Amino acid sequence: MNAPSALKDDDTGELVSMSRVLSPGERWYWIIDQLSTLNICAHVRIKGELSARELRSALGALQDRHPQLRTAIAQTTPGQAGDGPRFVPADRPIPLREVRLTSPDDKRWVSEVDGHELTEPLDWRSGPLARAVLISGPEQTHDLLLTVPHCIADGTTALSLLRRWVRLAAATPAPGRTTAAPGPAPEPFETLFPERFRVGAPALSEAPAADEADTAAAPEVVSRLEPERFVPFDRRRTRMLHRSLTSDVLDELTLACKREGATLHGLLAAALVCAVADDAGAAPLAPFAVGSPVALRDELRRPVSEDEVGCFVSALHSVVRQQPEDLWSMARFIKDDITARKQLGEQYAVFSLLAAQGPTGVVDCEPFVRHFEEHGPFNFFVSNIGRFEFPDELGDWQLSEAQFVGGISVVGYFGSSVTTSHGQLSWNFTYIDGAVSRERAERIVDDTVARVIAAGE
């Protein structure tokens, strides 16, 4: 597993690399995952007859289709060829853990995500970089969970893998394993950036160094979500609170957004800002910075489909003045601000920073991580992947509640993952245990959701 590379012959007789060095973005997520688990988890509910055997076979077929699911991560030793951690082949199957319930429990999957999937890291040393859970209850009700590390996946990736797994399991006859050897590792997505935004381009590599940022002109003081206490980086744990909006509420919100010239994402982010501000006792018009992870798949040098494995996201922040009596004005501002920042290419800047100044491993990450902790542009965010198409039926199966949940690690204190699928909006809130108490998290969550629902009435 510690070999720096592995090669095979392709159909033309040429040697093809089966491993490669992690890109700056992948390396960053891999490093902070070692400090505090940074997983992405996807969920769907299935009603109908299915077996663990079918699911295991389908997981094998899923691995056959995605080289990244047949890898581990190896660290190079001093003097060894190659720079930094590498993806290397791993021949272990994706593990499937079974949970059997004796009585109905619609929220058992939430406790599994909260208590295990967001907390326990995947074994990147031995691989594979995925694991799965089958929760089976009475009356042929099942919940499926698929968990992948953020270094190879975003919310769209996790859900697309789950969707492919379910489709493979529903195939008749069940798909068999192929004999194909692992293919070449997918190229780093930084190589797909538009030319003027590529990593290392002058316009993106001139960001001030961490030790220079403090001497720059002082910007407006922006409010953030203040922790109740400092939790050491290596002791942080993501916790989860699940909420959802019904199809009727979602329809009302969609019409209201159209009427108000806003986006649903802008409304969700504005409501969260107001809830955080109210919790802090902030005065009206106090500026708060809220993060918005944004998808890059459609703007790269070639379009990247939902089915490609990788973390194809960046993050932008909006400094918005909280106006609890004018939520729609805040929502429109956030929409326009994100659009303007994307046109400037600000979503690519962080990758040049990571390439030029990012840590190489856990041993040297503390200054960089602490700088993000103290000076990062935001520490609470809304990650919204929008509408995700997931089958309602497959054969005799009825499917519902497809959604994702993302961890936080050391990049903030409070977040939320939003999926619109199967006629509902699933809103999974996350927070760092200890830095934010559960009572406080529930207060912020309930306040946020109430403001959103009221906006659509």
Domain membership of residue 371 (yes or no) is yes
Domain membership of residue 182 (yes or no) is no
Residues 146, 250, single domain; the answer is no
Model pLDDT, residue 217: 46
Domain membership of residue 362 (yes or no) is yes
Q: Which residues of the chain have pLDDT under 70?
A: 1-18, 77-83, 172-185, 200-219
Model pLDDT, residue 201: 54
Rounded Cα–Cα distance for residues 31 and 359 (Å): 8
Whichever domain contains 84, its CATH number is 3.30.559.10
Residues 262, 122, single domain; the answer is no
Domain membership of residue 250 (yes or no) is yes
The H or E element that residue 24 is part of is helix 24-35
Quote the domain boundaries for residue 138. Answer: 16-170
Residues 139, 240, single domain; the answer is no
Domain membership of residue 184 (yes or no) is no
The model carries a pTM of 0.91
Residues 163, 224, single domain; the answer is no
Residues 137, 277, single domain; the answer is no
Spatial neighbors of 380 by CB under 8 A, at least 6 apart, are 224, 225, 272, 276, 290, 291, 412, 413, 414, 415
Residues 305, 368, single domain; the answer is yes
Domain membership of residue 178 (yes or no) is no
Residues 239, 130, single domain; the answer is no
Domain membership of residue 392 (yes or no) is yes
Q: Give tens-digit pLDDT for 54-113.
A: 999 999 999 999 999 999 999 876 545 556 899 999 989 999 999 999 998 999 999 999
Rounded Cα–Cα distance for residues 353 and 208 (Å): 9
Give the total number of structural domains in the chain. Answer: 2
Residues 331, 406, single domain; the answer is yes
DSSP codes joined into one string, 41-57? EEEEEEES---HHHHHH
Model pLDDT, residue 352: 92
Model pLDDT, residue 13: 40
Whichever domain contains 414, its CATH number is 3.30.559.30
Residues 236, 334, single domain; the answer is yes
Residues 305, 435, single domain; the answer is yes
Rounded Cα–Cα distance for residues 152 and 421 (Å): 23
Domain membership of residue 186 (yes or no) is no
Residues 160, 227, single domain; the answer is no
Q: Give tens-digit pLDDT for 235-263.
A: 999 999 999 999 999 999 999 999 999 99
Residues 130, 262, single domain; the answer is no
